[in-house]
Amino acid sequence: MMKLRIKFSKHGPMVFIGHLDMMRYFQKAMRRAEVDISYSSGFSPHQIMSFAAPLGVGIASNGEYMDIGVDSLTSSDQIKDALNRVMVEGVTIESVKVLPENAENAMSSVAAAKYTISFREKYRPNFDLFGQINDYLDQECILVTKETKKGTKEIDLKPHIYSFTFDPDKKVVSMLVDASSSGNIKPVFVMEDYYKYCGKSAGEFDFIVTREDTYTNIGTDEMPNFVPLDYVGEDY
């Protein structure tokens, strides 16, 4: 069995399709594209397929990833083209890479994610608001209350924000945040806390969020080196 990492984008009406339905969609797409995907053994065989960080409903993305196993492979481009022929509008296969045998799976590899946040016309803020980003990040700590499956807990948001900038020409915010299983910081959560710091309040539907890519760390915790998840694979 060979392990492949598939990068895809998700836009348009497909942003409203949840994670579990996307999994079912790709299982059917593999059959339609006649990909020689590997199956588990046992009484209830299933396709060997796993996804990286799940994407929230309503969020577009240019950098989603999933790993699959295949029993045979002609070329990376052949699988990419075969899958794109059966994709619905709004989902595009961007790349197919062969992973080394010792590669971690996509989900456990995730360390960070980059987002672009724009603003709905009706809720567009006074963009002078973003002149305080450096002051916000210069705080000794950024204490927030985060909802978890076990209740609420107070965390320091500061070490989980790797970059936070505003482009005055495009009127968009760019953000690189912790997306690991231990951190998993949502960009809207950061925006809401920043608004609060500035004495403002953010509505639930103020922001248009796009995940630009998902990253793994090939450096160390002290000196991280974030690269896209398909960096570790190769064309075949």
Each residue's pLDDT tens digit, 154-178: 889 999 999 999 999 999 999 999 9
Residue 236 counted as domain residue: no
| Full pLDDT tens readout for the chain, 236 residues | 899 999 999 999 999 999 999 999 999 999 999 999 999 988 888 999 999 988 999 999 999 999 999 999 899 999 999 999 999 999 999 999 999 988 888 888 999 999 999 998 888 888 888 999 999 999 999 998 877 777 788 889 999 999 999 999 999 999 999 999 888 899 999 999 999 999 998 887 899 999 999 999 999 988 999 999 999 888 88
Residue 90's nearest CA partner among 52, 55, 48, 53 is 55
Shared domain check, 66 and 142: no
Q: E strand or H helix at 96, and its extent?
A: strand 91-98
Shared domain check, 57 and 156: no
Give the domain range for residue 186.
110-231
Residue 120 counted as domain residue: yes
Query: How many angstroms separate the CA atoms of 220 and 225, rounded?
Result: 7
Shared domain check, 83 and 47: yes
Each residue's pLDDT tens digit, 65-76: 999 999 998 999
pLDDT given at position 68? 95
Calculate helix-pair angle for 19-32, 76-86, nearest 10 degrees. 110
Query: How many angstroms separate the CA atoms of 139 and 209, rounded?
Result: 25
Phi, psi dihedral angles at 220 (to 5 degrees)? -120, 170
* Burial (CB count <10 Å: 0-12, 13-18, 19+), residue 78: middle
Q: E strand or H helix at 210, and its extent?
A: strand 207-217
Percentage of the chain with pLDDT > 90? 73
Shared domain check, 154 and 103: no
Residue 44: CATH number of its domain? 3.30.70.580
pLDDT given at position 119? 92
